[in-house]
Amino acid sequence: MAEYKNLSTARGNWLGVGFFKLFTRILGVKHACRFVWFVTFFYVLFDRTAEQAASFYLKQNFPKAGWLMRRLHFYRLITSQGQMLILSYWFGTGKQLPIIEENAETLRELLKDKSKGLVLVASHFGCWQTVLSHLASFDRKINLLVQIDPESPVDKRFAISEIKEQITYIDIQSFSGGLLESMEVVNRGEIVCIMGDRPTSSGTVPMDFLGAPVDFPLSPWLIAARCHCPAVPFFTAVKGTADAIFFKFGNPIYVNCAQDRKPNPKELQPAMKEYIAALEEMIQLFPYQMFYFNLEQDLSQNLSK
């Protein structure tokens, strides 16, 4: 499996983040989000690494775009990512925006039985951290299976700073890739939240994504299969310039496999296809809020031509 190159590790610094924190507090979140356009213009001109990391996604999602249009698409994409960081900070200070929910009752119904846990499958889409703060109102312990970027100069988990006591982090770099710890908390009736679009050491399988093979992690589906619980995809998107937050909860996905053994990747793929279909549907609605930045994927695509 090719290593996922996390673009955000080398992006941002305390001075820049501090400036936007102050800007947001004084002039408000909308003006701060608008100001991001001026900052990201320089990324478009000079940041070749970021452009290359976004190249795979832009080529697959905008296949007919020429060189100039692709750069404009990149400009909108990188601006949207900067705006999501501002919104994460805004939510982390206890502020709110109007909320629009879709299919939330399905998740609430599943959570009525507190003896049963479940897997929430997140994506690097929109201001995804805001969903975690929203879930705090569901009165269920949340565990986040993540890889902390130790080399990043800035902790970008702004949106959950106010609810950090309600969230437990599970390290994906543990000897089991966090799988054993995740299964333990689910069996206790808790929620484990996992990124469904980020390859990890727990294993991947190539799946069709926007018309090309991409490695997707097995971990969410392995946990759901071994714990005999549903996996629920969720997505969040920003409407307008910080006008509202749109939460979409997918239908529960169940993994069908024998219960007395570890499932093989082929048995997990139907469930993974359901998640990817839901992700691609969101991409069509909000094409500039999918943050798939991967230098290795772009390189492998070019070598295959």
For the chain, what's the residue count?
305
Place of tokens 């093989």: 264
Q: Which whole number is the average pLDDT over 229-243?
A: 93
Listed in sequence order, the residues at least 6 apart from 80 whose beta carbon sits closer than 8 Å to its beta carbon are 288, 289, 291
Return the pLDDT at 171.
82
pTM, two decimals, is: 0.87
Question: Would you say residue 1 has pLDDT above 50?
Answer: no
Q: Where residue 97 falls among pLDDT bands split at 50, 70, 90?
A: confident
pLDDT tier at 3, thresholds 50, 70, 90: very low
Distance set, CA 53 to CA 8, 154, 301 (Å): 11, 20, 12
DSSP conformation letters of 164-197 = GGGEEEEETTSTTTTHHHHHHHHHTT-EEEEESS
pLDDT in tens, 100-126: 999 989 988 888 888 889 999 999 999
Please provide the average confidence, as pLDDT, over all residues in the chain.
83
Is 74:54 a contact under the CB 8 Å cutoff?
Answer: yes
- Residue 247, SS3 per DSSP: strand
**From CA 47, how far away is CA 29, in angstroms rounded?**
25
Six-digit token pair at 60?
């697959």
Which residue is it, tokens 């982090």? 169
> What is the domain partition of the chain in residue ranges?
7-93+292-303, 99-285
